[in-house]
Amino acid sequence: MARPVAASVDEYIAGFPPEQQAVLQGIRALIRSEAPHADEAISYAIPTFDLHGKHVCHFAGFKGHLSFFPTGQAADAFAAELTGYKGGRGTVQLPWGRPLPEDLIRRMVRYRVERLSAAAP
């Protein structure tokens, strides 16, 4: 059964068990620390951070993992560091129960923020 679409990031996170909520709040805080001026939204039914009218990144919880979606060319730019993670083009699967790769997430978000800011009018 599909999860109902949340109206806000808070509502989205509240729909998960407490242990997963803590991880989702953790990635949210990491993203916010590197993109303090980005707007939070729900896009594609998942939490999204937007800056200058473009997506910085998304994240989403699934049964066995948290997915982080660094938009643009971020996944390509960090491909060598992402080889230890499952995922496809533009997504990184982070298993529940393992520490978040905080430094990598920070650098990927920073990469997106720098590119979006440089391209902003």
1 pLDDT more than 90: no
pLDDT of residue 57: 97
Is the model more confident about 40 or about 91? 40
CATH number of 9-119: 3.90.1150.200
Query: Residue 32: how many CA atoms within 13 Å on its side-chain side?
Result: 11
Handedness of CA 31, 37, 41, 44 (dihedral sign): negative
52-104 pLDDT per residue, tens: 999 999 999 999 999 999 988 888 899 899 888 898 778 899 999 999 999 99
Helix (H, G, I), strand (E, B) or coil at 92: strand
pLDDT of residue 3: 67
119 pLDDT more than 90: no
Domain ranges of the chain: 9-119
Q: CA-CA distances (angstroms) from residue 86 to 54, 71, 81, 95, 104?
A: 25, 17, 12, 9, 15
